[in-house]
């Protein structure tokens, strides 16, 4: 493949890809540019968009595979890649905010409290016992 090769966004397979999220095309499809695909050495290909249309991953597909199988696997791959991208973005956000969050939620100084006593009691009182004692009166 020639270095620096660019594919215009108006190329029909790219337009279909951006519309559907995944595309599979064969050499006989009239929407592909035969000379361009020959330059790439491609007969059949699949492509997926990932990262909210930030990236396109394209795959050369060996003959003998069913279109629906290729699309299913391509979409599964796109979902996996998108999940990883989202997780890495979220981890980056959390890493950047970790120190800021702690400082924001903790008080600037230790609070002082007045003099008072704390007490706690544990009760085994049940609603059924309360109901029966109030109705028996």
Q: Over the stretch 68-121, which tens digit does the pLDDT of each residue have?
A: 888 898 888 898 998 999 999 888 888 776 656 556 666 677 777 777 766 666
Average pLDDT score over the chain: 79
Indicate whether 132 pLDDT > 80. Answer: no
Between these two residues, 131 and 120, which has the higher pLDDT value?
120
Q: How far apart are CA 88 and CA 93, in angstroms?
A: 9
Q: What angle do CA 36, 42, 43 make, to 5 degrees?
A: 110
Look at residue 104 and give its three-state secondary structure. helix
Given pLDDT bands bounded at 50, 70 and 90, which one contains residue 42?
confident
pTM: predicted TM-score of the whole model, two decimal places: 0.58
């Amino acid at each position: 493949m020639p270095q620096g090769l660019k594919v215009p966004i108006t190329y029909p397979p790219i337009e279909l890809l951006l519309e559907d999220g995944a595309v599979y095309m064969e050499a006989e499809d009239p929407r592909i540019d035969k000379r361009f695909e020959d330059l790439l050495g491609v007969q059949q290909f699949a492509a997926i968009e990932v990262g909210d249309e930030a990236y396109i991953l394209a795959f050369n597909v060996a003959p003998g595979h069913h279109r629906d199988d290729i699309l299913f696997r391509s979409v599964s791959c796109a979902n996996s890649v998108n999940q990883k991208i989202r997780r890495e973005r979220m981890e980056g956000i959390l890493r950047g905010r970790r120190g800021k969050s702690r400082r924001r939620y903790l008080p600037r100084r230790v609070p002082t409290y007045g003099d008072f006593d704390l007490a706690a009691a544990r009760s085994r009182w049940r609603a059924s016992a309360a109901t029966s004692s109030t109705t028996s009166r």
